[in-house]
Amino acid sequence: MKEIVVISGKGGTGKTSITASFAILGGGDVVVADCDVDAADMHLLMQPDYDYSEDFYSGEIAYIDQNKCTHCGKCARVCRFDAISLNNKQYIIDPLSCEGCGYCARICPTETIINKERLAGKWFISNIKSGSIMVHARLSIGADNSGKLVAKVKNEAKDIAFEERKGFILVDGSPGIGCPVVSSLSGASFVVLVTEPSVSGLHDLKRVSKLVKKFNIKAGCIINKADINAAKCAEIMEFLKDEDITHLTNLPYDENFTKAMTQGLTIVEYDKGELREILAESWRKIKQLVTN
Amino acid sequence: MRIAFTSKGTEWASMIDPRFGRTAFIVIYDEETQQFTAVDNSSVKNEAHGAGTATAQKIYELKPDVLITGNGPGENAAQAIKQLNMKIFIDAQEMSLKQAYEHYKNDRLKEI
Amino acid sequence: MTNSKPFKIAIASGKGGTGKTTLSTNLAAFIAEQEEVVLVDLDVEEPNSGLFFTGEPVHEEDNFKMIPHWDESRCTFCGICHKVCNYHAVIQLGLTILVFPELCHSCYACSELCPTDALPMVPKKTGTLKDYQTDNLHFIESRLDIGEEQAVPAISKTKKYSAGKYDNVHIAIFDSPPGNSCPVIEATKDVDFVILITEPTPFGLHDLTLAVETMRALGKPFGVVVNRYGIGNDAVLQYCQREHIPILAKIPNNRKIAELYSSGKLIYQEISEVKASLTDILDFCMKTAEGEVE
């Protein structure tokens, strides 16, 4: 069973659209994991049925029992996150600022503050239109995007792939280089880097490649909207060669991507011509590289 | 020798838990006394971070000489358990504790 | 404008790639034609605004977060430190205390509750802050080191630096990270106005609704800019209308914009519709600042 993770560093390069296309091409042999939990979008293209859902708890959050509070103010003094303030003579904890460190609860002289598990989101297992299964999630706003929900989604997907004897797990990863990306990458057999030929695209590609190198995972790159800037495109291909990253393909800037998305379709369902062929060829290449 | 396993259950027939930090149970088998103890590690379930270091601390208190696990400890946990004079064997996932123990005795597990 | 401190505008979006950096860099450059302005790039994981400006930094400093450092000579092994750490960033293995900087959230509990002062807090570098100036434009960029996972402390320090150094500037623009989690909260929680930039597609609409939820939870006044207007459909416009969310501008879809952006060039000087949009956006922000809009 092989794990293919698609990441981009920079947002807006087409990562999710491309991952969804691979999911359709892979059909029943692929379990999909939408690990872009902060801004999950795969469900807009895959028609999930939300067959199973579960609350997700992560970290803690402090609560003050106003009935027991003696207003000594010690909690507000020790809080390093400006989460406790005096409002109408009562000490209030701001849930968006509270980091759940527990310090206030520990030093409260009357044991008025308690730490509760923080409901940080929800995750789902769905049947999707490709005939396969997708594990996805929604992180609550202001939640600590620690990578734990990403890990949960991936592990559930792995369990399903193992039980159902599927050949591949396809992961839609998170943007950036932080915790959630690291969590997306752990255990990957192959990484697909999606970029665009712009100064920002190349800049972010370089940063995220460093991370991939650190994990020593084989990688390939798709340059999307490649014809926007031929010079930048060439610069990226040079970089890929230097870094020993397989250049998978170039995709042209094409308004059909958006047209397809607007109809809730992946590009390979909407377009039966060149775009579909390019993506199908990339998927074949990826499968080949990952099984060697 | 005291052998520690990351385990999904509390019996010899239980499967090895491939994870270190978030392993369900830590099972200790003392070869001299033949004592078999399972320690519940489910308190780390809700940890966003630090599952590895928390489990490392727990393992330290149990004082094993050998650890048999699956994927191996992550970066933080690996740093922590370097402090312990413990041999670590990985790739025992998809085996029961009994099978993993037999593999270990026959030098068929990978040491890291 | 009655306050002396800058009117702070954050540019955010739920979804990445909708044009935050395009808007923040062009808006800042546009304002700089008339008056002093500061642009702060708070997308510390992937800071991109700097790619659109040239010049050397006038100041550079490390971003750091505070972590405990174990002073063996003072330790009595009472175990309080690891008992009070909710993140398992401090653990005790026999006669050794180990600190894990990546797990530490800098709450200071272990340090302040240690009875013998054996865990003083010390700074640990997490990245670099650079301060550039070109005529009227001050540009501050903070960059997280690869391998550092916590953006929030870096964002917080950068805001403090900007507030400390440029408190007499009229307008400050914060280029926020994408998404709706902690880093975005930190970047937007003390600003005066938030511009949510989106695109008129299903992904854009979906992520906009999450961003709107976040801004409402923070109680921030906000408005929407629709970028690449013309692609997709009108669902975003209808949503904003239903929710009584002001639309500050619709920037038309134009391949030339993508090309200019890809080369790291500013756009508004070459594309008149963009300049017009910036004027509208600035007008709305200033009216909000003067209390003429609720």
The Cα of B72 is separated from the nearest Cα of chain C by a number of Å equal to: 18
Q: What is the pLDDT of residues C24-68, one digit of tens each?
A: 999 999 999 999 999 999 999 888 888 888 878 999 999 999 999
The Cα of B10 is separated from the nearest Cα of chain A by a number of Å equal to: 21
The Cα of A290 is separated from the nearest Cα of chain C by a number of Å equal to: 26
The Cα of B19 is separated from the nearest Cα of chain C by a number of Å equal to: 17
Q: What is the pLDDT of residues A130-169, one digit of tens each?
A: 999 999 999 887 777 767 888 889 989 988 998 999 999 9
d(CA A13, CA C194): 24
Indicate yes or no: CB of B48 within 8 angstroms of CB of A146: yes
- How large is the average pLDDT for residues B8-17? 92
Q: What is the pLDDT of residue B48?
A: 65
Measured CA to CA in angstroms, residue C120 lies from A27, A79, B80, C67, C112 at distances of 56, 17, 21, 8, 8
Q: Which domain holds residue C180?
A: 7-63+128-289
Q: What is the pLDDT of residue C137?
A: 93
Cβ–Cβ contact C93 with B under 8 A? yes
Please list the helix, strand and coil fractions of chain A in percent, rounded to the nearest 5, in that order. 40, 25, 35
Measured CA to CA in angstroms, residue C280 lies from A71, B63, C26, C249 at distances of 48, 69, 13, 7
Asked whether the CA dihedral C8, C9, C11, C12 is positive or negative, the reply is: positive
The pLDDT-based confidence of B51 (bands split at 50, 70, 90) is: confident
Element holding A30 (H helix, E strand): strand A30-34
Q: What is the pLDDT of residue C4?
A: 55
Evaluate whether residue C58 is within a structural domain.
Answer: yes
Residue B51's closest chain A neighbor by CA? A148
Evaluate whether residue C1 is within a structural domain.
Answer: no
Comparing C281 with B23, the larger pLDDT belongs to: C281
Residue ending a domain, choose from C79, C98, C119: C119
Candidate from A131-135, A252-256, B47-51, B57-61 with smallest mean pLDDT = B47-51
Where b means 16+ CB within 10 Å and e means fewer, A128-137 reads bbbebbbbbb
Q: What is the mean pLDDT of chain B?
A: 87
Q: What is the pLDDT of residue C1?
A: 41
Question: Which architecture characterizes domain A59-119 according to CATH?
Answer: 2-Layer Sandwich (3.30)
Indicate yes or no: CB of B46 within 8 angstroms of CB of A187: no
Domain map of chain B by residue range? 2-111
Q: What is the pLDDT of residue C292?
A: 65
Which residue in the set B48, B71, B74 is minimally distant from A59, CB to CB?
B48
Q: Give the number of C-alpha atoms closer than 13 A to the C-alpha of residue A260, restricted to the C-beta side.
A: 22
- CATH number of the domain at C80, please: 3.30.70.20
Element holding C226 (H helix, E strand): strand C222-229
Indicate yes or no: CB of A228 within 8 angstroms of CB of C255: yes
Indicate yes or no: CB of B51 within 8 angstroms of CB of C92: no
Indicate yes or no: CB of B50 within 8 angstroms of CB of C103: yes
The Cα of C264 is separated from the nearest Cα of chain A by a number of Å equal to: 6
Indicate yes or no: CB of B49 within 8 angstroms of CB of A187: no
- pLDDT under 50: residue ranges of chain A: none
Indicate yes or no: CB of C106 within 8 angstroms of CB of A80: yes
Q: State ipTM.
A: 0.83
Residues C104, C139 within the same domain: no
C25, C49 in Cβ contact below 8 A? yes
Q: Which residues of A touch B74 (CB under 8 A)?
A: 186
Rounded to 10°, the helix A230-243/A199-214 angle is 10
Residue ending a domain, choose from C53, C88, C119: C119
pLDDT at B12 over 60: yes
pLDDT at B72 over 80: no
How remote is the C-alpha of C64 from its chain's centroid? 17
d(CA C37, CA C136): 6
Comparing B107 with C226, the larger pLDDT belongs to: C226
Indicate yes or no: CB of B57 within 8 angstroms of CB of C102: no
Residues C151, C226 within the same domain: yes
Q: Tokens standing for A266?
A: 């992946």
Residues C75, C149 within the same domain: no
Evaluate whether residue C2 is within a structural domain.
Answer: no
Asked whether the CA dihedral C105, C109, C110, C116 is positive or negative, the reply is: positive
d(CA A108, CA A181): 37
Selected residue of A92, A258, A265, A266 to mutate for chain C interface (largest C Cβ count, 10 A): A258
Cβ–Cβ contact A57 with B under 8 A? yes
Selected residue of A3, A58, A140 to mutate for chain B interface (largest B Cβ count, 10 A): A58
The Cα of B13 is separated from the nearest Cα of chain C by a number of Å equal to: 31
The pLDDT-based confidence of B45 (bands split at 50, 70, 90) is: low
Indicate yes or no: CB of B49 within 8 angstroms of CB of A146: yes
Within 10 angstroms of residue A239's Cβ, the number of other Cβ atoms is 17
The Cα of B78 is separated from the nearest Cα of chain A by a number of Å equal to: 15
Element holding B17 (H helix, E strand): none
Pick the CATH number of B2-111 from 3.40.190.10, 3.55.10.10, 3.30.420.130, 3.40.50.2300: 3.30.420.130
Selected residue of B22, B41, B43, B53 to mutate for chain C interface (largest C Cβ count, 10 A): B53
Q: What is the pLDDT of residue C194?
A: 97
Residue C80's closest chain A neighbor by CA? A106
Which of 63-122 (C) contact A at CB < 8 A? Answer: 84, 86-87, 105-109, 112-113
Residues C246, C214 within the same domain: yes
Residues C55, C75 within the same domain: no
Report how many Cβ contacts below 8 Å link chain B to chain C: 46
Q: What is the pLDDT of residues A155-165, one digit of tens each?
A: 899 889 989 99
Residues C87, C59 within the same domain: no
3-state secondary structure of A22: helix
Q: Which residues of A touch B48 (CB under 8 A)?
A: 58-59, 144, 146, 148
Phi, psi of A266 (to 5 degrees): -80, 160
Cβ–Cβ contact A130 with B under 8 A? no
Q: Which residues of C touch B57 (CB under 8 A)?
A: 82, 88, 91-93
Q: Give the number of C-alpha atoms closer than 13 A to the C-alpha of residue B45, restricted to the C-beta side.
A: 10
Q: What is the pLDDT of residue C3?
A: 52
Q: What is the pLDDT of residue C2?
A: 44
- Provide the domain count of chain C: 2
pLDDT at B47 over 70: no
Per-residue pLDDT of chain C (294 residues; tens, 9 = 90+): 445 579 999 999 877 888 999 999 999 999 999 999 999 999 998 888 888 888 789 999 999 999 999 999 999 999 999 999 998 999 998 889 999 998 899 999 999 999 999 999 999 999 999 999 988 999 999 998 887 878 888 999 999 999 999 989 999 999 998 888 888 999 999 999 999 999 999 989 998 999 999 999 999 999 999 999 999 899 999 999 999 999 999 999 998 998 898 888 999 999 999 999 999 999 999 999 888 665
Owner of token pair 């078999």: B36
User: Domain A2-47+128-290 falls in which CATH fold?
Assistant: Rossmann fold (3.40.50)
Within 10 angstroms of residue A223's Cβ, the number of other Cβ atoms is 26
Residues C220, C163 within the same domain: yes
Q: What is the pLDDT of residue B46?
A: 62
Indicate yes or no: CB of C91 within 8 angstroms of CB of B56: yes
Domain map of chain A by residue range? 2-47+128-290, 59-119
